């Protein structure tokens, strides 16, 4: 499943705010967008390194589009290579693999990072995707199911994910 044009439009507006409002240089915000209507389902705000999605909201993730910001790069001056910021954590990848998101996006000062659900959900073997710091877009060609089996909770740079 691909993200819809209306969800793409909405996500660009949400990410414009994440890029331009000074507040989001110090805090994270995660936004879920309904893939069919393009409307915002919810936002949650957190601190500089973390935002939590409440357990009761996890069922909303399936089939929809999630974006959030990685503000840590703002700690560095703009001429410092670290200013561009970090891409997905392995835990971000677990989020898309296990909760059925269509697209997971992250905004850092220098990039927009995009993970798309594999078009072939039966293709669930293979190495973990490499970290994507140097790439603007990565297709999730292979699954990451092994990393999330048997765990209870992980806290990623941006989002807390738990399962049982």
Phi and psi at 103, nearest 5°, equal -140, 140
158 binds Zn ion (CB under 5 A): yes
> Which residue has 């996006």 as its token pair?
105
Burial of 46 by CB count in 10 Å (0-12 exposed, 13-18 middle, 19+ buried)?
middle
Interaction between residue 73 and Zn ion (CB under 5 A): no
92 binds Zn ion (CB under 5 A): yes
Strands 112-116 and 137-139, how do they pair? parallel
Toward Zn ion, which CB reaches closer, 6 or 138? Answer: 138
CB of 64 or CB of 123, closer to Zn ion: 64
Contact window for Zn ion (CB under 5 A) among 49-57, 102-110, 133-141, 144-152: 102-110
Which helix (DSSP H) or strand (DSSP E) does residue 154 occupy? strand 153-155
Number of residues that bind Zn ion (CB under 5 A): 3
Tell me whether residue 15 or residue 92 sits nearer to Zn ion (CB atom).
92
Chain residues in the site for Zn ion (CB under 5 A): 92, 106, 158
């Amino acid at each position: 499943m691909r993200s819809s044009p209306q969800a793409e439009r909405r996500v660009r507006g949400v990410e414009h705010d994440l890029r331009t409002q000074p507040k989001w240089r110090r805090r994270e915000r995660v936004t879920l967008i309904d893939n069919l209507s393009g409307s915002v389902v919810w936002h949650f705000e957190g601190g500089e390194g973390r935002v939590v999605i409440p357990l009761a909201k996890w069922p909303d993730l399936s089939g929809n589009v999630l974006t959030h910001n990685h503000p840590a790069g703002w700690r560095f001056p703009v001429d410092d290579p670290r200013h561009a910021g970090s891409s997905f954590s392995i835990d971000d990848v677990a989020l898309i693999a296990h909760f059925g998101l269509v697209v997971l996006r992250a905004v850092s000062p220098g990039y927009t990072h995009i993970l798309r659900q594999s078009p072939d959900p039966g293709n669930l073997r293979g190495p973990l995707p490499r970290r994507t710091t140097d790439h603007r877009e990565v297709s999730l060609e292979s699954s990451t199911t092994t990393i999330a089996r048997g765990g209870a909770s992980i806290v990623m740079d941006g989002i807390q994910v738990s399962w049982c």
